[in-house]
C-alpha cells in the first residue's frame, strides 16, 4: 500500500518544489528541504505517482502519470507563492526540466541534481547499461516481473549513511528508502521520458544550477554536460568530488544546499527588483 510521505516546510514567498527519483521517496530530498527552509525558502517535497508502495503500485503507473503528478503539485503550490523554483534528483531532475520546458511562465529556476537520462555510471552492471533497449523489450511484453537491483555503493560515498539507507531499503521500507531495484517496465518508461525531455531541453529558458558528482556511480557526469549544452537559459555548474549519485544526502549535501539557496535567492531578488522597477 502506498504511504503518503510528502513534506512541507513553510517559509517566505519564494518556494522550492523538490522531486525525488525513480523508485525513490521524498525522504531523499528532506535534508535539502530543511536546509533551504533555514535559508528562508518555503519548501514542498512532493511524492511521485505510484511511489512509496510496492513494485505493483509503481508498475500501475507510467512516466506521464509521474509527470502529471509534478504538474499538479507545481500548479497547486505556485498559487501561494511569488516565485516558484523546482529541483529534482536523478529522474526527478529530468521531470523538473520537463516542467521548466513546458511552463516557462511558472518556473523561475531549476536545480538539476544528478540528472539521469541514461544509467551509465561506473557501478552500473553491464546489463544495466543496456537498459536503453528496455522500451523495445517493453513493447514486446517481456520482463514485467523482472527488476534491475541496486548495487553497492547504492549511490552513497558516505559509508555510515550507506549502511542506514541500504538497511531500510533491503528491509522493505520503501517509504523511507525506496524500492531495492527498478522494475524493467518502469525503467522503460524512464527511457521513453528521457527521449522526450532531451528534445525539449532547448525550450528550458529558466536558469539552471546543474549539480553532479564527478564519480557518480549510477549516471555519469556526461548526463550533466548534456543538460549544460542543450538548455537555452543561463547555467551554473557544481561538480562534486566527494559524493556519489545521491548528492542530496551524501557528504557534500551542505555545499549543495548553500549553492542552491544562493542560486535561487539571487534569481528571486533579481525578479523582485525588476518588478519594482517596472512599477
Q: What is the pLDDT of residues 215-231, one digit of tens each?
A: 999 999 999 999 999 99
Residue 182 C-alpha cell reads as: 527498478
| Predicted pLDDT at 128 | 54
| Predicted pLDDT at 21 | 96
Q: H or E stretch including 16?
A: strand 14-19
The pTM of the full predicted model, rounded to 2 decimals, is 0.90
What SS3 string covers 162-201? HHHHHHHHHCCCHHHHCCCEEEHHHHHHHHHHHHHHHHHH
Burial 213-235 (b: 16+ CB within 10 A, else e): bebbbbbbbebbebbbebbeeeb
Q: Which residues are paired to 79 by β-bridges?
A: none
| Predicted pLDDT at 279 | 46
Among 12, 7, 23, which residue's Cα sits nearest to residue 245? Answer: 23
- CATH 3.40.50.1820: does it fit domain 7-278? yes
By the 8 A CB rule, do 252 and 242 touch? yes
Q: Measured at the alpha carbon of residue 16, what is the angle toward residues 161 and 64, in degrees to the nearest 5?
A: 85
| Predicted pLDDT at 276 | 52
Q: Which residues are paired to 110 by β-bridges?
A: 86, 208
Q: What is the pLDDT of residues 50-95, one digit of tens each?
A: 999 888 899 999 999 999 999 999 999 999 999 999 999 999 999 9
Taking CA atoms, 104 is separated from 65, 110, 232, in Å, by: 21, 11, 12
SS3 240: strand
Low-confidence ranges of the chain (pLDDT < 70): 125-149, 172-179, 272-279
Amino acid at each position: 500500500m502506498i504511504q503518503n510521505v510528502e513534506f512541507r516546510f513553510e517559509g517566505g514567498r519564494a518556494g522550492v518544489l523538490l522531486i525525488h527519483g525513480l523508485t525513490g521517496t521524498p525522504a531523499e530530498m528532506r535534508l535539502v528541504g530543511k536546509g533551504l527552509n533555514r535559508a528562508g525558502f518555503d519548501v514542498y517535497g512532493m511524492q511521485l505517482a505510484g511511489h512509496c508502495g510496492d513494485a505493483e503500485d509503481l508498475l500501475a503507473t507510467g512516466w506521464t502519470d509521474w509527470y502529471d503528478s509534478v504538474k499538479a503539485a507545481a500548479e497547486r503550490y505556485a498559487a501561494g507563492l511569488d516565485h516558484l523554483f523546482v529541483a529534482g534528483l536523478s529522474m526527478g531532475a529530468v521531470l523538473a526540466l520537463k516542467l521548466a520546458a513546458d511552463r516557462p511562465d511558472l518556473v523561475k529556476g531549476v536545480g538539476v541534481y544528478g540528472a539521469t537520462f541514461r544509467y551509465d555510471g561506473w557501478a552500473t552492471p553491464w546489463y544495466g547499461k543496456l537498459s536503453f533497449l528496455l522500451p523495445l523489450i517493453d513493447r514486446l511484453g517481456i520482463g514485467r516481473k523482472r527488476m534491475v537491483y541496486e548495487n553497492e555503493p547504492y549511490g552513497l560515498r558516505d559509508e555510515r549513511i550507506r549502511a542506514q539507507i541500504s538497511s531500510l531499503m533491503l528491509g522493505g521500507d520503501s517509504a523511507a528508502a525506496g524500492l531495492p531495484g527498478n522494475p524493467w517496465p518502469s525503467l522503460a518508461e524512464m527511457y521513453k521520458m528521457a527521449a522526450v525531455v532531451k528534445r525539449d531541453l532547448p525550450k528550458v529558458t529558466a536558469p539552471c544550477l546543474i549539480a553532479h558528482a564527478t564519480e557518480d556511480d549510477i549516471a555519469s557526469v556526461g548526463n550533466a554536460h548534456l543538460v549544460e549544452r542543450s538548455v537555452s537559459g543561463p547555467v551554473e555548474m557544481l561538480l562534486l568530488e566527494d559524493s556519489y549519485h545521491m548528492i542530496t544526502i551524501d557528504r557534500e549535501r551542505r555545499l549543495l544546499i548553500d549553492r542552491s539557496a544562493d542560486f535561487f535567492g539571487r534569481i528571486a531578488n533579481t525578479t523582485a527588483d525588476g518588478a519594482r522597477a517596472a512599477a
